[in-house]
Amino acid sequence: MTNDKTLRIGLIGTGFMARAHTNAYKRVGDFFPDLEWKPRLKAVCARTPEKVRAFADQWGYESVETDWRTLAARADIDAVDICAPNDTHAEIALAAIAAGKMVLCEKPLARTVAEGAPMVEAVEEAGVKNTVWYNYRRVPSVTLAKQVIDSGKLGQIFHYRANFLQDWTISPDLPQGGEALWRLDVNAAGSGVTGDLLAHCIDTAMWLNGGIADVSAVTETFIKERVHQETGKVQAVGIDDACIFHCHFDNGSLGVFEATRYARGQKAGYTFEINGQHASIRWDLHDQNRLGFFDHGDDSIVRGWRSIHVSDGDQPYIDRWWVPGLCLGYEHTFVHHMADFLKSLETGEPCSPTFREALETQKVCEAVLDSAASRSWKETGVNW
Amino acid sequence: MTNDKTLRIGLIGTGFMARAHTNAYKRVGDFFPDLEWKPRLKAVCARTPEKVRAFADQWGYESVETDWRTLAARADIDAVDICAPNDTHAEIALAAIAAGKMVLCEKPLARTVAEGAPMVEAVEEAGVKNTVWYNYRRVPSVTLAKQVIDSGKLGQIFHYRANFLQDWTISPDLPQGGEALWRLDVNAAGSGVTGDLLAHCIDTAMWLNGGIADVSAVTETFIKERVHQETGKVQAVGIDDACIFHCHFDNGSLGVFEATRYARGQKAGYTFEINGQHASIRWDLHDQNRLGFFDHGDDSIVRGWRSIHVSDGDQPYIDRWWVPGLCLGYEHTFVHHMADFLKSLETGEPCSPTFREALETQKVCEAVLDSAASRSWKETGVNW
Amino acid sequence: MTNDKTLRIGLIGTGFMARAHTNAYKRVGDFFPDLEWKPRLKAVCARTPEKVRAFADQWGYESVETDWRTLAARADIDAVDICAPNDTHAEIALAAIAAGKMVLCEKPLARTVAEGAPMVEAVEEAGVKNTVWYNYRRVPSVTLAKQVIDSGKLGQIFHYRANFLQDWTISPDLPQGGEALWRLDVNAAGSGVTGDLLAHCIDTAMWLNGGIADVSAVTETFIKERVHQETGKVQAVGIDDACIFHCHFDNGSLGVFEATRYARGQKAGYTFEINGQHASIRWDLHDQNRLGFFDHGDDSIVRGWRSIHVSDGDQPYIDRWWVPGLCLGYEHTFVHHMADFLKSLETGEPCSPTFREALETQKVCEAVLDSAASRSWKETGVNW
Amino acid sequence: MTNDKTLRIGLIGTGFMARAHTNAYKRVGDFFPDLEWKPRLKAVCARTPEKVRAFADQWGYESVETDWRTLAARADIDAVDICAPNDTHAEIALAAIAAGKMVLCEKPLARTVAEGAPMVEAVEEAGVKNTVWYNYRRVPSVTLAKQVIDSGKLGQIFHYRANFLQDWTISPDLPQGGEALWRLDVNAAGSGVTGDLLAHCIDTAMWLNGGIADVSAVTETFIKERVHQETGKVQAVGIDDACIFHCHFDNGSLGVFEATRYARGQKAGYTFEINGQHASIRWDLHDQNRLGFFDHGDDSIVRGWRSIHVSDGDQPYIDRWWVPGLCLGYEHTFVHHMADFLKSLETGEPCSPTFREALETQKVCEAVLDSAASRSWKETGVNW
């Protein structure tokens, strides 16, 4: 680590997430100028030389690598950011940690608890800074929800419900596997909507409402076979196209979660609602600048769900941006995450969600898949 | 008037409004059983014998008339309800008043101030109970708006804006005149959207926000000629298809109003919004069970527009109906109006809006039309 | 049965549902004048003489009874309408059927399948007309959903999700039992939200999407003890305060359902969404005049969820009421049900949902409760 | 101009708009990598040395100036971007043009037509590239609206209505003038909401619906006196706090516009609705990722307003960003504008809105203010 508080980033991957993270690195200093630490785009890594070169040129990385092992070993890298498919997370992370690097890992932590547990062990033993990019915690409206809950406004929680609905895999002509569609390939992804979408819902849920104790789930694979892009053959689809589960939280509230890629008309339909004794909250990613809030304490004749446009300077992160009424977007969540990460370098505090927290989310995912497979309730073993 | 507190109704007309009023007479006793007075469907009147007989049979009127003069003179009628086209209001009302009847008149009061003024004079001299069916005041959410404003929650009012948007006359093939389309015939209707739609907006506005002092308006007739159903000939269209005006209220707030029948996608798009120093209100007839409310006094981080589902027992009129969360509809406004009318027979208070109030609304309509014709500001002369 | 096509009604109960049904009897002829059959309010029955007399006076019943056995046996009654608590449905229905009466039963059919099965057997053996008042099928927007689905616009169905959320029992001070709160008393109600709220959701779901094959459920009773109004003692609460289940439909789609009375801010939050291959539908009772519809066949750049204001004359039941844009309410669903019932007397067709259909809904409810109790999947045995 | 297609920017101002523009310069290359031209942050200028230095440091400007005349004269600047108060636009622009620079001017073009006309003359004589930052045209949903209108889907236009409602000046304790509040000082701003907010509405309106021919307006200054921050004295407020006007468009449609800073609960409530013969469009800046669209051509039983989430790759600008369902924000509009500006350097086409177009908007603003002052209709003289 240089002593000038430059965080030299080595990014692995050139896909969607690589763009989102890189954008965060480039913007965080403009909008959070008071942070001591500044990221620097030291190197990007991907297998295809032309592709990684093009990415580096477009985004301004100083160098390229085609072997992540080389990148992870480079002395001029402080932090490795893993934006490669899920099946690579563990191996890369372990190598980076072994080389003493900080690790920022795209979610989910790994394909399984068995893969993820050693990652947690390793970062904790090595004492390296780590975080997993569950970005939706840092939508300002979601962060506001956390503040409102922590303030006690909701009282005892009775219900938590969350959905993450998409519709992009309905066509049977869509192949599986390959660079763009590895999320449909169970080997690369580990699971389908559970690891991809429910993992987000579970991370938010436990952050807002505490640990999930046990689950009862069902999964479905609507389209049983798809051409695999790597083999060119029609192969069985191993992922879950859809998953529903209900659960008990440690605090006694009931939860219900659903994710699918077969909900026509839903693009990124991540929604949640939390019902407490005194107040309730609801949220929809499609309208991420808003938070729904119902306060039973309001004068009864004018009581109603409030649609809070989260764009005022006293709301989370907003003072860094524009003026009231103006919208932020998806990418801001990553900027906020990076700002908090850089801040954690100053304070020495962990940057949540850490690998350890992400492993708890993984446990719930795994219990969900186990429950669905065995048609029975499963304890999660989560310790939140 | 019988001394058994039966209100013997003589209804003139068999159209849409005749149905809405009759339904109110038939239901009010079921839901407001504590009222001393009960309506009785004594007679209905229309020119065509078969039509009036069919209406009487369907709805349960005890007798029929084909000449409103006869009806107005009948000793066994206590109240005349005028649901005939606008050009008949004055003549019928004056006859009924002369016969000592109470008069309930469908809105607008008349085609012009000149027609309406003698009606006011007559009811007041005769001392007969009178009301004009500006029914939207008695949507529970609108009545609630009135309560909220009267409570002072809004503070000084800065703005009032209202629209009444429809789309049913866009086709040039639609004829004018005749029983179903007299609203397109300037002789029968007096004006187009001004008397039909803006009159509603103006009545609500002055009830909620006080008198309108002066206006500046524009009108448009998009389709200049239509076949007239009575003559069978293509004739100039004399009504205003659309009308927009801005104004000053007596309390110093600014108003803006628009009505049209050429707003594709709007069926009965009556909306209003009121902005006060401390709070604001908004409303949409398409979602009449809801009231929008913004209270600047709310804790700033969770401040937002509330969508109040007006269906709780402590909200206006609701205790008479179902349970929280269940909707009321259009026709309930007339039941509420009738309940208030019957109550006014007990108390001796006027049943608002009276002819006098409706004449003030007429003055604004007339000033609006005059302003549009002269392309200049007009004082309304309203005394609210 | 008289041969003049008058349907002489004997109503049992004077509560909320008794009012809703009576209102339907009184209004149906006004708005569906073409029906051959007309209801007549022959008798109403309840245990307390003053109460039943007051109800009869308010609503216009010709006579009263205080023993339902007498009512069910009266020769001048054609149809018995059961609006008494769930624990009375079976006994009353069987007596009425034995006396050759038609039976209209408030939902749910019974407390259990064991109670309900003989009711089905009896009506079918006796060949008497029967129906269960699952009224939400006849919200025009829901009936429209059925039309749209039946037209094939959705294609293969992947997902069905429904919630029925309320918040009226959150206070621990609320007692159980007694006339107003029998729904909290497991003996009177049979179950909590499952029979009260989920039964509605299940009826609609199977009507729209076919049979439910198996279920996995969880229930919760948040407040374990409440004063019982009949004993005056604190007693264990036997009902389910909340219930969540997921399921497979016979057509291969996945379902998820949730009901609770602990969702702060939800009054009558019955919502559903159906995702098909080509299109999706969603609905919310709080905004019952609207139906959400997404059609993937729309031109992609202007594709979006439509908010259909179901108030046009070519939409279900609407031609009987007002004009486009004007709202209907809760009570209209009962009027529509009664209109369809009367029509069924003309045609000789069953009036859906029949006792048999309602028993299938009961089977799902029972499987849900069994699943929750045993923490395991249950086959429903439904034959839809 | 360098021949390496670097656009060397000289920015004047360090306020809100300076940040928004600078962000656009820094991001455009990342998301529009195919553009030949790249901006370079050459210099920023403001009067206060510490402030301009801090801004340069935060955002990465290579140099600073404290006198805009120096900046405008620098040989190493290709384009001058004016983010200073309205009263400086003309003088700076004329100097920059005289020096042969391209000019990008924050809206409105100037305080008056008299100030703006020479600016147009100058850029056109000099033949320098110019644009005015009316950024809302480049919200993807607004650009989509333009596409939809241009495709003819709406047919003949009948109505255009737009509001821009805010609530930030309600407090009488708010001073006027000074760096942060020059918008309240008539000398610096030229006008109040007319130039600040209505100018946006008018630019969008004429872009979407053609020229505005004549106007009739009213303005109001609710708070008559405020402390001036430069003098420390209570001074008369010279700006319009609110403005409403109606108008005729050249295409025969009617328009109505309203802007205010006294609409409690409205932060940046810019909305518009356009009603055409076949279809309608509506939009709300608070929900900028959505466009409302009603198509009368839809099958009538499922016809309704569509809420289009404008986040698909075939919608304007979206292919440069994320994946369907994810939101963009306010700042993206400036990135899009800059991308189009850079593209215009390649093509040689003007980058709309040009100074000439912005002058037409200015003419409408001026006619609006004249109309309000004279209480009469005014021709705008617009040539769109």
| pLDDT for res C3 | 60
C257-262: average pLDDT: 98
What predicted TM-score, i.e. pTM, was given to this entire model? 0.98
Residue B161 is classified by DSSP as E
Number of B/D CB contacts below 8 angstroms equals: 117
| pLDDT for res C179 | 87
Could D286 and A267 be called an inter-chain contact, meaning their C-beta atoms sit closer than 8 Å? no
- How many C-beta atoms surround the C-beta of residue A127 within 10 A? 9
Would an 8 Å CB–CB cutoff place C305 in contact with chain B? no
| pLDDT for res D87 | 97
Residue of C nearest to A377 (CA): C375
Would an 8 Å CB–CB cutoff place B24 in contact with chain A? no
Quick check: C259 pLDDT over 80? yes
| Tens-binned pLDDT, residue by residue, of chain B (384 aa) | 456 899 999 999 999 999 999 999 999 999 999 999 999 999 999 999 999 999 999 999 999 999 999 999 999 999 999 999 999 999 999 999 999 999 999 999 999 999 999 999 999 999 999 999 999 999 999 999 999 999 999 999 999 999 999 999 999 999 999 988 999 999 999 999 999 999 999 999 999 999 999 999 999 999 999 999 999 999 999 999 999 999 999 999 999 999 999 999 999 999 999 999 999 999 999 999 999 999 999 999 999 999 999 999 999 999 999 999 999 999 999 999 999 999 999 999 999 999 999 999 999 999 999 999 999 999 999 999
Q: What is the pLDDT of residues C342-353, one digit of tens each?
A: 999 999 999 999
Quick check: A1 pLDDT over 50? no
Quick check: C9 pLDDT over 50? yes
3-state secondary structure of D20: helix
First to last CA, chain C: 32
| pLDDT for res B132 | 98
With 0-12 CB in 10 A as exposed, 13-18 as middle and 19+ as buried, what is A102?
buried
The residues with which A30 forms a beta bridge, in sequence order, are none
Look at the block and give the residue holding tokens 């801004």: D55
Q: What is the pLDDT of residues D326-374, one digit of tens each?
A: 999 999 999 999 999 999 999 999 999 999 999 999 999 999 999 999 9
Could B244 and D260 be called an inter-chain contact, meaning their C-beta atoms sit closer than 8 Å? no
Confidence of residue A180 (pLDDT cuts 50, 70, 90): confident
C268 contacts in B (CB within 8 Å)? 311, 323-326
Residue of A nearest to B306 (CA): A306
| pLDDT for res A179 | 87
- How many C-beta atoms surround the C-beta of residue C236 within 10 A? 11
Could B300 and A306 be called an inter-chain contact, meaning their C-beta atoms sit closer than 8 Å? no
Q: What is the pLDDT of residues D295-314, one digit of tens each?
A: 999 999 999 999 999 999 99
Would an 8 Å CB–CB cutoff place C323 in contact with chain D? no
- How many Cα neighbours within 13 Å face the side chain of D344? 18
* Nearest beta carbon to residue B304 from set A300, A302, A306: A306
3-state secondary structure of A212: strand
Short-list B365, B178, B339, B204, CA closest to B281 = B204
With 0-12 CB in 10 A as exposed, 13-18 as middle and 19+ as buried, what is A260?
buried
Look at the block and give the residue holding tokens 């395991």: C376
First to last CA, chain D: 32
| pLDDT for res B4 | 85
C322 contacts in B (CB within 8 Å)? 16, 20, 330-331
Residue of A nearest to D59 (CA): A30
Domains and CATH numbers, chain C: 6-135 (3.40.50.720), 139-329+354-379 (3.30.360.10)
| pLDDT for res C4 | 85
Q: What is the DSSP string of A268-308?
A: SEEEEEEEESSEEEEEEGGGTTEEEEEETTS-GGG--EEEE
Closest Cα of chain C to A170: distance in Å?
Answer: 7
Rounded distance between C-alpha atoms, residue D105 and residue A79, angstroms: 41
| pLDDT for res D179 | 87
| pLDDT for res B283 | 98
Could D306 and C303 be called an inter-chain contact, meaning their C-beta atoms sit closer than 8 Å? yes
Q: What is the DSSP string of D60-110?
A: T-SEEES-HHHHHH-TT-SEEEE-S-GGGHHHHHHHHHHTT-EEEEPSSS-
Continuous segment of H or E residues that includes residue A148:
helix A140-150
* Nearest beta carbon to residue C280 from set A154, A263, A305: A263
| pLDDT for res A361 | 98
Amino acid at D17: M
Confidence of residue C1 (pLDDT cuts 50, 70, 90): very low
Q: What is the pLDDT of residues A101-116, one digit of tens each?
A: 999 999 999 999 999 9
Closest Cα of chain D to C80: distance in Å?
Answer: 36
Closest Cα of chain D to A379: distance in Å?
Answer: 34
* Nearest beta carbon to residue A267 from set D29, D58, D309: D309
Q: What is the 3-state secondary structure (H, E, C) of chain C?
A: CCCCCEEEEEEECCCHHHHHHHHHHHHHHHHCCCCCCEEEEEEEECCCHHHHHHHHHHHCCCEEECCHHHHHHCCCCCEEEECCCHHHHHHHHHHHHHCCCEEEECCCCCCCHHHHHHHHHHHHHHCCCEEECCHHHHCHHHHHHHHHHHCCCCCCEEEEEEEEECCCCCCCCCCEECCCEHHHCHHHHCCCHHHHHHHHHHHHHHHHHCCEEEEEEEEECCCCEEEECCCCCEEECCCCCEEEEEEEECCCCEEEEEEECCCCCCCCEEEEEEEECCEEEEEEHHHCCEEEEEECCCCHHHCCEEEEECCCCCCCCHHHCCCCCCCCCCCHHHHHHHHHHHHHHHHCCCCCCCHHHHHHHHHHHHHHHHHHHHCECEECCCCC
Query: Burial code of D225-236, b = ≥16 C-beta within 10 A, e = fewer?
Result: ebebbeeeeebe
C-alpha to C-alpha distances, A70 to A43, A108, A122, nearest whole angstrom? 11, 24, 20
What are the DSSP E strand ranges found in chain B?
A: 6-12, 38-45, 63-65, 79-82, 102-105, 130-132, 157-165, 212-220, 225-227, 234-236, 242-249, 254-260, 269-276, 279-284, 290-295, 305-309, 378-379
Amino acid at A242: A
Short-list A358, C306, B274, CA closest to D304 = C306
Could A26 and D23 be called an inter-chain contact, meaning their C-beta atoms sit closer than 8 Å? no
Q: What is the pLDDT of residues D15-34, one digit of tens each?
A: 999 999 999 999 999 999 99
- Chains with 3 or more CB pairs under 8 A to chain D: A, B, C
| pLDDT for res B1 | 46
Rounded distance between C-alpha atoms, residue C312 and residue D92, angstroms: 59
Would an 8 Å CB–CB cutoff place B288 in contact with chain C? yes
Q: Within its chain, how far is the Cα of B115 from the centroid?
A: 17
| CB distance C182 to C334 below 8 Å | no
Rounded distance between C-alpha atoms, residue B361 and residue B380, angstroms: 9
* Nearest beta carbon to residue C308 from set D144, D147, D303: D303
Residue D308 is classified by DSSP as E
Q: What is the pLDDT of residues C92-141, one digit of tens each?
A: 999 999 999 999 999 999 999 999 999 999 999 999 999 999 999 999 99
Confidence of residue A3 (pLDDT cuts 50, 70, 90): low
Rounded distance between C-alpha atoms, residue B353 and residue B359, angstroms: 10
Q: What is the DSSP string of B22-84?
A: HHHHHHHHHH-TT-S-EEEEEEEE-SSHHHHHHHHHHHT-SEEES-HHHHHH-TT-SEEEE-S
Closest Cα of chain C to A254: distance in Å?
Answer: 8
B44 contacts in C (CB within 8 Å)? none
Closest Cα of chain D to C255: distance in Å?
Answer: 24
Could A268 and D59 be called an inter-chain contact, meaning their C-beta atoms sit closer than 8 Å? no
Continuous segment of H or E residues that includes residue B101:
none
- Chains with 3 or more CB pairs under 8 A to chain A: B, C, D
* Nearest beta carbon to residue C301 from set D298, D307, D314: D314
| pLDDT for res A162 | 98
A321 contacts in D (CB within 8 Å)? 330-331
| CB distance D101 to D92 below 8 Å | no
C332 contacts in B (CB within 8 Å)? 329
The encoded tokens of residue C137 equal 């099928």
| CB distance D158 to D254 below 8 Å | yes
- Chains with 3 or more CB pairs under 8 A to chain C: A, B, D
Confidence of residue C180 (pLDDT cuts 50, 70, 90): confident
A266 contacts in D (CB within 8 Å)? 325
| CB distance C254 to C248 below 8 Å | yes
* Nearest beta carbon to residue A329 from set D58, D268, D332: D332
Would an 8 Å CB–CB cutoff place C355 in contact with chain D? no
Q: What is the DSSP string of D199-268?
A: HHHHHHHHHHH--EEEEEEEEE-SS-EEEBTTT-SEEE--S-SEEEEEEEETTS-EEEEEEES--TT-SS
Q: Give contacts of B 197-256 with D, CB under 8 A.
A: 216-218, 220, 222, 242, 244-246, 248, 252, 254, 256
C275 contacts in A (CB within 8 Å)? 165, 167, 260, 262-266
Could C289 and B286 be called an inter-chain contact, meaning their C-beta atoms sit closer than 8 Å? yes
The encoded tokens of residue A97 equal 């940690």
3-state secondary structure of A210: coil
The chain-wide mean pLDDT, for chain C, equals 97
Rounded distance between C-alpha atoms, residue D53 and residue D45, angstroms: 9
